[in-house]
């Protein structure tokens, strides 16, 4: 007998991460849900097998396999299984940059999506559940990255966003490429806006605009956040690394600069953080 697989992430991540997962799961026997006041976070629901019906924004639609719906916060909705059962996958998320990330893709309201059987997007939520079930994502960074990758893939299959610009997916693709490159250069202290711009073949001004629009901060400030999140991972648990070694691994030339930056952003020193975790 299949069981409902549900992972709930720590609530404080919704305030700390630009894009944060609240919950993700797979429900083999989807029950009837009625939410007159909507859900407080963005809510993705897709069909894995069977089919169901959802009513939102005054419309009722069937969700067969290979389709799903992204509901914005506070949108009144209800859904239930058709005859024969309904297996669903879902993702709820928020974060300071969630709205701007979707806006960068031209998504400004709830949307329905459908995709062909071979499309990767249909398997991403299941893969996310399987990865998170293994544990280890203490700060929700992996979940946040997976959610961003999912949204990037998802926006290509929207069926009810007539106002979207054709170039919008390219903007998200550029952001994805930039973030992945930055993550691969965490330990490089020489990285600056010029290098990021060169990777995207854009001007520094254009790259700064993309990051401000999507994340509310310039690219180097976002890069510092990536470095500090990696530093938190390295400081957690029984890590044998010294603070100086952690500083080097996350791209700081000297420990004093790392300690000052960590304290300014986190509110405590790396050693204090280590003792708490």
Spans of the chain below 70 pLDDT: 11-16, 136-139, 159-170, 214-216, 237, 277
Residue 163 lies in a domain: no
- Given 89, 124, 157, which residue is the final one in a domain? 157
**For residues 263 and 277, what is the distance between their CA atoms, to the nearest angstrom?**
16
Provide the 10 A C-beta neighbour count for residue 31.
11
Residue 164 lies in a domain: no
What's the pLDDT at 98? Answer: 85
> In the predicted model, what is the mean pLDDT of the chain?
86
What's the pLDDT at 170? Answer: 67
Here the tokens at position 16 are: 């700390």
What's the pLDDT at 162? Answer: 47
Range of the structural domain that residue 183 is part of:
169-276
What's the pLDDT at 152? Answer: 77
What's the pLDDT at 213? Answer: 73
The answer on 246 and 126 residing in a single domain is no
Residue 87 lies in a domain: yes
What's the pLDDT at 11? Answer: 62
What's the pLDDT at 211? Answer: 84
Total of domains in the chain: 2
What's the pLDDT at 12? Answer: 64
The model's pLDDT over 218-262, given as tens digits with 9 standing for 90+, comes to: 899 889 988 988 888 888 767 789 999 999 999 999 999 999 999
The answer on 205 and 76 residing in a single domain is no
- CATH code (residue 72): 2.60.120.280
Specify which residues 34 forms β-bridges with: 78
**For residues 30 and 86, what is the distance between their CA atoms, to the nearest angstrom?**
6
- Given 136, 157, 178, which residue is the final one in a domain? 157
What's the pLDDT at 164? Answer: 47
**Angle between helices 168-184 and 219-235 in degrees, nearest 10:** 50
What's the pLDDT at 5? Answer: 94
The answer on 199 and 77 residing in a single domain is no
The answer on 103 and 9 residing in a single domain is yes
What's the pLDDT at 87? Answer: 97
The answer on 248 and 198 residing in a single domain is yes
The answer on 136 and 28 residing in a single domain is yes
């Amino acid at each position: 007998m299949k069981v409902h697989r549900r992972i709930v992430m720590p609530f404080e991540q919704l305030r700390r991460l630009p894009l944060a997962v609240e919950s993700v799961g797979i429900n083999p026997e989807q029950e009837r849900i009625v939410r007159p006041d909507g859900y407080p976070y963005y809510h993705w629901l897709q069909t894995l097998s069977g089919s169901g019906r959802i009513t939102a924004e005054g419309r009722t639609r069937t969700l067969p396999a290979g389709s799903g719906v992204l509901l914005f916060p506070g949108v009144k909705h209800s859904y239930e299984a058709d005859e024969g059962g309904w297996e669903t996958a879902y993702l709820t998320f928020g974060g300071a940059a969630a709205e701007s990330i979707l806006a960068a893709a031209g998504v400004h309201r709830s949307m329905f999506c459908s995709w062909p059987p071979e499309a990767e997007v249909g398997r991403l939520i299941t893969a996310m559940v399987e990865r998170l079930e293994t544990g280890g994502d203490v700060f929700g960074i992996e979940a946040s990255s997976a959610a961003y990758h999912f949204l990037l893939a998802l926006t290509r299959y929207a069926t009810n966003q007539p106002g979207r610009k054709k170039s919008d997916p390219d903007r998200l693709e550029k952001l994805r490429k930039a973030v992945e490159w930055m993550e691969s250069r965490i330990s490089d202290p020489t990285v600056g806006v010029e290098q990021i711009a060169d990777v995207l073949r854009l001007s520094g001004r254009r790259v700064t605009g993309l990051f401000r629009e999507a994340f509310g901060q310039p690219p180097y400030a976002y890069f510092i956040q990536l470095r500090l999140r990696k530093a938190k991972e390295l400081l957690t648990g029984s890590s044998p690394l010294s603070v100086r070694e952690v500083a080097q691994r996350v791209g700081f030339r000297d420990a004093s600069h790392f300690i000052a930056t960590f304290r300014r952003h986190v509110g405590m020193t790396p050693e204090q953080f280590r003792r708490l975790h």
